Amino acid sequence: MQRKLAAGNWKMNGARADLSMIDRLNTSHPSPDCDILLCPPAHLVSQAVAQAAKGTLKIGAQNCHSAETGAYTGDISAGMFAEIGASHVIVGHSERREGYGETDTDARAKATAAQAAGLIPIVCLGESLSQRDAGDALNVILTQLAGSVPADSEADTLVVAYEPIWAIGTGKIPTMDEIAEVHQALRANLIDALGQTGAAVPLLYGGSVKPANAAGIFALEHVNGALVGGASLTAQDFSPIIQALSDS
């Protein structure tokens, strides 16, 4: 049975004052039927962990380096995030792949480092609009899956998130049939690669998830949660998404 997860990626947004949202979420969802995760910018992770300790909400990081230590100015290792109490880390996000040239090999190395440090990597996959229009979406996504996921992953050490690049922050989303097709293919390929472990890995959908469309997305088979961007920045938007997942 996959554990449902509502994950919020704040990206490069947020200040200390915004962490008051954690208290509101913990109060609104004291015993949710899903896990709740916030991934704020790195400078807020430690304080967010301390504040989240009052309830069940978890705190993660948005990226990590694949090395444990070294001369990597400006980078933070998975072990460093684990030391301050983070539980998850996002790897392979399209904004890292496109903006920094990160590859499937980089994503796998970071995911492997995260698992070694005791963090759960959220491995992101997704196609561009041109790849979708060319009918190549599934091939692109499954190639990313094969190259980005550590081969010895266990169900409780891995999350996979499908985020079509063209839907991130645009207000556009694939059709429900398109989302279902991708998630079904991801599930089948995870089972092929990991055996029955692959049947229990949580699969998230990301890309313009809003309160208005969340329930429909969560009703789809093999969708076990969401990786939410802009709508995770306020409790007003994120809370109904959490509730929709908890009710699904």
> One of 93, 102, 127, 222 is an active-site residue; which one?
93
> One of 95, 102, 127, 163 is an active-site residue; which one?
163
Q: Is 101 annotated as a binding residue?
A: no
Q: Are 126 and 163 in contact (CB under 8 A)?
A: yes
Q: Is 60 annotated as a binding residue?
A: no
Residue type, 149: V
181 among known catalytic residues:
no
114 secondary structure, DSSP code: H
The C-alpha atoms of residue 114 and residue 110 are separated, in whole angstroms, by 6
The position carrying tokens 């049947």 is 199
Q: Is 10 annotated as a binding residue?
A: yes
The C-alpha atoms of residue 188 and residue 181 are separated, in whole angstroms, by 11
Residue type, 107: A
Question: How long is the chain?
Answer: 248
127 among known catalytic residues:
no
The C-alpha atoms of residue 163 and residue 146 are separated, in whole angstroms, by 16
Q: Is 8 annotated as a binding residue?
A: no
Q: Is 70 annotated as a binding residue?
A: no
Q: Is 169 annotated as a binding residue?
A: yes
Q: Is 99 annotated as a binding residue?
A: no
The C-alpha atoms of residue 127 and residue 137 are separated, in whole angstroms, by 6
Enzyme catalytic residues: 93, 163
Give the residue ranges of the annotated binding site for substrate. 9-11, 169, 208, 229-230
- Known binding-site positions: 9-11, 169, 208, 229-230
